[in-house]
Amino acid sequence: MGLDLYAKIEPFLDFEEEVYTLHKEFLRFVMTNDLDNIIDIGCGQGYFLENLKVNKKKYFGIDLSVEQIKVCQAKGLNAQAIALKDVKEKFDCATAIFDVLNYIPKEELKTFLKEIYFVLNKEAYFIFDVNSYFGFDEIAQGCITIDVEDKFIAIDANFEDEKLQTDITLFEKHENGLFSKEQDSIIQEYHSKEFLTKVLEETGFELIEIKEFNLHTDEIADKLIFICKK
């Protein structure tokens, strides 16, 4: 699904400020509620895991991208490239940060939430964010080109029929002077507040709060943060 290719280009996307801002919000919740024993689902290159580690929290990260997990493990982080259904341990909190649930198709979302429910202890928290419709329609779609060092990156994102398709092209120059080309796509789906509320309740989660969050703009909230409890 393009996740390994995304892992290659992520360091060049200049999202450090957004990463810091959103992770700070999640970490505030963890620290305020004195939570420990946390699983970060879709942990990427482990930025949030590093925050948990610094704050001496027990943590475990999972991601389907082998390339992302290689970066985590190179940092000495406790993370594995395994599917959620293969996790055997139980946790007191689960996080899914930077629109992880938007990568899950609507017809698979209930199964995914059941898998999260299964790995949580009784009264454990589940906190996640998703893109709002405004976030997809006004913020996420568009074109970006990056020309840096020995790489040229082109990203084209188009939002249509409540799905965002992001096409990624990477040209890399090698020592022999020749370029290699990689292309792949990532699909994300818009999930409405009403749909998520319904599926969460059907799965057994108690929805405690939905917070509007402005990550990329001060206009309209481009993200929603859901706080749930088992």
What pLDDT does residue 163 have?
97
pLDDT at residue 143, rounded to an integer: 94
How far apart are the two ends of the chain, measured CA to CA in Å?
Answer: 30
Segments of the chain scoring below 50 in pLDDT: none
Q: What is the pLDDT of residue 1?
A: 59
Domains of the chain (ranges; CATH) run 3-134+191-229 (3.40.50.150), 135-188 (2.20.25.110)
The encoded tokens of residue 72 equal: 């985590």
Nearest to 41 by CA among 109, 3, 96, 98: 96
Report the pLDDT value the prediction gives residue 14, as an integer from 0 to 100.
83
For 80, other C-beta atoms within 10 Å of its C-beta total 15
CA-wise closest residue to 4 among 61, 66, 48? 66
For β-strands 151-160 and 142-148, DSSP reports them as antiparallel
